[in-house]
Structure 1
Amino acid sequence: MIEILETGPFNTVQDLGRPGFRNIGVTAGGAMDPLAVRTGNVLVGNEPEAAVIEVQTFPFKLRVSTPMVFAVTGTDGLVLLNDKDVLPWCAHLAKDGDVLELRQPGKRARAYVAVGGGLDVPVLMGSRSTALRGNFGGNDGKPLAKGDHLKTGRQENILPLPASGLAVVEPSQALANVFPDIVDGVLQVRAIPAGEHHLFTDDGEAFWGQVWRISSRSDRTGYRLSGEPIKPTEIREMRSHGVVPGVVQVPPGGEPIIQMSDANTAGGYPKIAGVIEADLWRLGQANPGGKIRFVRSSHEEARQVEQAVKTYLEDIKRTADMVKRALKAMA
């Protein structure tokens, strides 16, 4: 059992989302940084889709009432266990009564707490994720509040698990060769021209060529971008159509919106581009006020990056399994 001691707005239970229900108006949802979720779950011996805590307002503090393995991923901020620093991106063992605290990250927007067995909240439409707009899933459809209690799923005997010291090189470093550098504080986000790209002047050069700033009006549904407005060469009346996370739409004001994890299920604004799926976690870690630039990509590059991420996760799983077998042999 986990007790929430300190929290802020919009900290929720999330997993990898509930795809497959957009036709009835239910957004897929799920974590803003799914790579951090997958990595944390591998570290604590869970299946990749196990439910975790997504923290986006800090400080955050919880207490455990039973021994459990945990890992904090996503963050570049301080992680403390009983007021002592512990490594993020690393599996640790918490004992009954231990207090875990997450401080404000240095540059990133979110942290994730994965625990052995995952969070045992009801499965709705195949997912444990919190849908705040629909008021369902996760912690009764609500953000976490002080005094809330979360059950954890059954975990294996703790001793054979990679319970302490198993760490990973975080994705931004381990996969530095496949993710573009942040240049002068500008996040480079790869995208592919979308359906209405041809409607914009000079092949959309104003979209690709400038640095955009993430507006303070951004949230899990979408990132609104501030910059020099872009306009289509012709105005077309468009029917509403399906959209998914990563789609970049341009409303009449000319400042793009990137659909994020809680993306609307449909919309009628022109689609100028689509962020490749493998880069969405980097956007999920970008703060309001941050700067981004779109970089033209291709389906082939997107597949290559996706394969590199898959290999990274497989390597972690293989290492975790080796440690687990070694500990069992020693027990």
Structure 2
Amino acid sequence: MSIQVISPGVLSTFQDEGRHRFQSIGVPVGGVMNQSSLRLANLLAGNPPSETVLEITLSGPRLLFEEDACIAFSGAPIHAFANDTPIPVNRPFLIQAGQTLHFRPDPRSAMARTCLAVHGGFELPAMMGSCSTDLKNRLGGYHGRALKKQDRIEIKKPLASQHRQTLLDFFNALEIYLPANLGLQKKHGIRVIKGYHWDHFTRESQARFLNDSFRITPQSERMGYRLQGPVLALQSPLQILSEPTAFGSIQVPPDGNPIILMADRQTTGGYPKIANVISADLPVLAQMLPGEHCTFSLLDLKEAQRLMLDREKKFMTLQKQLALIALQLSQCYL
């Protein structure tokens, strides 16, 4: 079973949880920008939460499905259609053979990314334990690059056509409740904990960091969000050794303009770190667009951990509730 790419969209790449345990040899972690969207889209499509998805940035692709497939979206509240039939976000949907998946822009959504999951997953080779696309190193995903016109994407599991109506009836009757605090809502306030070098910054810079707003510049990308706002200064020049980087670390280079390290961050960095975005707010940050403003508020480590564990508990509960989808689909696929 395959999907034909009619047009690729702005940036459509395959992503999963990334390549862990290889930073020591210079391989970036990479992976999906919004972990909550990855997990939710997969659960709605009856997949394990870490299955590879197609990460769609801004405007989506046009994809012709050659056979029936169960799909699900999570992330930006996009307007998606199978031919002329609207596809709901955060629900499973049966797209039928011969239908074209396409998107219409919605200026009110103002969110950056959406994850598209297909039941059974995409047929992609794993490299270093991951199918994520590393664009800079041309590694993983679909030939190490974003989708192009006339690409053909294979799907692992074909749907038995005689079960089409059964699935349509099942999806129409399905009731889904999504709890709050999954990182799906739009907001501009980002919570942080103090970085390792917090005390090396002047008190004035610490106050400006927490009280003023920062604009995400057009130079922002999957590697890092460059911020423009009050210039942050050290108390005195600081020489530090390069050290491993983490998703959400906020580095301050010599010009005083912070950079938030994102999914495709470099493996090591030598700039002082004023703060780290808490895990619970990384999905919110990943949906922000260049030109938007964000503010930062400080939490202690204990509260950041509590928020992370609370989200994990809610995802585990949701996974149990949505297990019926995977069970129903397992009976309808070849």
TM-score by length of 2: 0.89
Q: Does 2:311 align with 1:309?
A: yes
Instruction: State which of 135, 138, 146 in structure 2 corresponds to 1:143.
Output: 146
Q: Does 2:74 align with 1:69?
A: no
Map of 2:288 onto structure 1: 286
What letter corresponds to residue 175 of structure 1 in structure 2?
A: A
Residues 195, 328 of structure 1: alpha-carbon distance in 2 compared, 3 angstrom cutoff: closer
Deviation at 1:247, TM superposition (A): 0.5
Deviation at 1:321, TM superposition (A): 2.0
Task: Say whether the 8 Å CA contact 2:5–2:150 is kept in structure 1.
Answer: yes
1:291-322: CA deviation from partner (whole Å, max 9, x where unpaired): 11111112222222222222332233222224
Task: Say whether the 8 Å CA contact 1:7–1:61 is kept in structure 2.
Answer: yes
Distance 1:315 1:180 in 2: 17
Map of 2:218 onto structure 1: 216
Deviation at 1:143, TM superposition (A): 0.6
Map of 1:82 onto structure 2: 83
Q: Does 2:277 align with 1:260?
A: no
Map of 1:175 onto structure 2: 180
Residues 44, 194 of structure 1: alpha-carbon distance in 2 compared, 3 angstrom cutoff: same
Map of 1:241 onto structure 2: 243
| Other structure's SS at 1:254 match | coil
Task: Say whether the 8 Å CA contact 1:72–1:111 is kept in structure 2.
Answer: yes
Task: Say whether the 8 Å CA contact 2:193–2:304 is kept in structure 1.
Answer: no
Map of 2:157 onto structure 1: 154
Flag structure 2 segments of 5+ consecutive residues without an equivalent. Answer: none
What letter corresponds to residue 107 of structure 1 in structure 2?
A: A
Flag structure 1 segments of 5+ consecutive residues without an equivalent. Answer: none
Residues 304, 155 of structure 1: alpha-carbon distance in 2 compared, 3 angstrom cutoff: farther
Deviation at 1:75, TM superposition (A): 1.8
Residues 205, 161 of structure 1: alpha-carbon distance in 2 compared, 3 angstrom cutoff: farther
Task: Say whether the 8 Å CA contact 2:67–2:158 is kept in structure 1.
Answer: no
Residues 167, 30 of structure 1: alpha-carbon distance in 2 compared, 3 angstrom cutoff: farther
1:23-69: CA deviation from partner (whole Å, max 9, x where unpaired): 01111111111110100101111111111111114142111111110
Deviation at 1:200, TM superposition (A): 0.8
Map of 2:115 onto structure 1: 112
Deviation at 1:142, TM superposition (A): 0.7
Return 103-112 or 229-238, whichever deviates more.
103-112
Deviation at 1:246, TM superposition (A): 0.7
Task: Say whether the 8 Å CA contact 2:214–2:294 is kept in structure 1.
Answer: yes
TM-score by length of 1: 0.90
Deviation at 1:275, TM superposition (A): 0.7
Identity of aligned residues (%): 31
What letter corresponds to residue 247 of structure 2 in structure 1?
A: P
Residues 327, 145 of structure 1: alpha-carbon distance in 2 compared, 3 angstrom cutoff: closer
Distance 2:247 2:157 in 1: 32
Map of 2:98 onto structure 1: 97
Distance 2:247 2:241 in 1: 19
Distance 1:278 1:161 in 2: 34
1:203-247: CA deviation from partner (whole Å, max 9, x where unpaired): 711211111111110000000001011100110122211111111
Map of 2:171 onto structure 1: 164
Deviation at 1:156, TM superposition (A): 7.5
What letter corresponds to residue 164 of structure 1 in structure 2?
A: F
Return 77-86 or 161-170, whichever deviates more.
161-170
Residues 21, 258 of structure 1: alpha-carbon distance in 2 compared, 3 angstrom cutoff: same
Deviation at 1:130, TM superposition (A): 0.2
Task: Say whether the 8 Å CA contact 1:212–1:226 is kept in structure 2.
Answer: yes
Return 104-113 or 87-96, whichever deviates more.
104-113
Deviation at 1:261, TM superposition (A): 0.4
Map of 2:132 onto structure 1: 129
Distance 1:324 1:161 in 2: 12
| Other structure's SS at 2:322 match | helix
